[in-house]
Structure 1
Amino acid sequence: MARKVFYSFHYNPDNWRASQVRNIGAIEGNQPAKDNDWETITKGGDKAIEKWIADQMSGRSCVVVLIGAGTANRKWINHEIAKGWNDDRGVLGIYVHNLKNSEGKTSLKGSNPFDHVTLKSSGAKLSTIVKAYDPPGSSSTDVYAHIKNNLESWIEAAIAIRAKY
């Protein structure tokens, strides 16, 4: 049975890349809010956004952070990472900078978003526990193939890591 995951990503620059990963098909992922829906959600303020995220994460076993050039240290990305971890979900990252966007362009590699989230229990950065995968490949097609071939095992590993803490 396919796992259900919550995908976290910086919408504007990476929605095309995120779409590619979500469409791999081995994993059931949440669909992002459409622009009009997101405008309605954000008008409700932080509590409305937190509720939307909680509703989207409900029933998911893992949070997959798709890491682009500007993903790290964004307010809602940090919130999604912390919420996933605190709710006992597996958490992992996949760098997507080498996947092409809708214009056929790749981007710069972003920094590790788990460096910006610390565990309350120990003060350790989550990056010391959570894995962030940087798929190898000289083309977008190679990177996509690597993600497709490894996504399920990465998710299982993230769930196993979380179970240890």
Structure 2
Amino acid sequence: MAKRVFFSFHYQDVIDFRANVVRNHWVAKEDREEAGFFDASIWEESKKKGAADLKKLIHDGLENTSTTCVLIGSQTYARPWVRYEIFRSIYRGNRTFGVHINQIKGKDQQVKMNGPNPFDYLALRYSADGTFVEPMEAENGKWVASSTMSSYTLKNTAGDARRGRTIRLSELGYPTYCWSTNKGYDSFATWVG
């Protein structure tokens, strides 16, 4: 059964057409079941909103989704609202993964080197008793509290190995794939889970 997928990305990657290749690849498939997803993105509305409205728009966009796909371009890792979308997705329990898109030809018909993995720049700081986490962001080589996402109580207490530690999302098992190298057109439905 096709899943509802929330796509998180830097708007520049839409302008360059790379994000659109992934979001619209289902068009060439027989049906959305074969593609494995329905797109629940909000980018069309996001340019018109302030911070509070944008948070509500993100919350509404994530509603009824089970998966979040972060489309990773050159500057995705540094975008504050992408960071918020990732943290919010994890908070809701969405399966969350990244897809490098820089090897897709842009509107200039060029490819780029893969951008930094946003999961390397985000972390969760677990409380000593493992009952809550604080979302953290890398800033000048240090971990600082997220400016957009507050700490929250965990549904299940964290195990001993996580208690009292700050752990990067990339170390917590949030995978990344490369659209070109990992044959995204054929593999995306599997990545969605």
The number of aligned residues is: 144
Quote the offset at 1:149 in angstroms: 1.0
Determine what percentage of the aligned residue pairs are the same residue: 28
1:33 Cα deviation (Å)?
Answer: 3.0
Q: Which residue of 1 aligns with 2:48?
A: 40
Q: How far apart are residue 24 of structure 1 and its match?
A: 1.8
Deviation at 1:67, TM superposition (A): 0.5
- Say which structure is richer in helix: 1
TM-score, length basis structure 1: 0.80
Partner in structure 2 of residue 28 of structure 1: 38
TM-score, scaled relative to structure 2: 0.69
Corresponding residue of 1:149: 186
User: Aligned-pair RMSD on alpha carbons?
Assistant: 1.7
On the 8 A contact 1:14/1:68 being kept in 2, the answer is no
Q: Which 4+ runs in 1 deviate beyond 2 A?
A: 30-34, 37-40, 134-137
Task: Report the equivalent of 1:127.
Answer: 170
The whole-number CA distance in structure 2 between the counterparts of 1:118 and 1:38 is 25
Q: Mapping of 1:107-118 within 5 angstroms?
A: 107-118=112-123
CA 1:93–1:39: 2 relative to 1, 3 Å: closer
| Cα offset, 1:135, TM superposition | 4.1
> Is residue 78–residue 116 contact of structure 1 (8 Å, CA) maintained in 2?
no
On the 8 A contact 1:94/1:134 being kept in 2, the answer is yes
- 8 Å Cα contact 1:68/1:108 also seen in 2: no
Q: Deviations over 1:115-162 (max 9, x none)?
A: 12212324211011100112454xxxxx7xx10111111121xxxxxx
Contact 1:92–1:130 under 8 Å retained in 2: yes
Query: Which structure would you say has the larger Rg?
Result: 2
Structure 1 unaligned residues grouped into runs of 5+: 138-142, 157-165
Q: Distance in 2 between matches of 1:2 and 1:125?
A: 30
Matched residue, 2:62: 57
Match of 1:17 in 2: 18
CA shift digits 1:71-118 (9 cap, x unpaired) = 112111110110001110000001001001122122231111001221
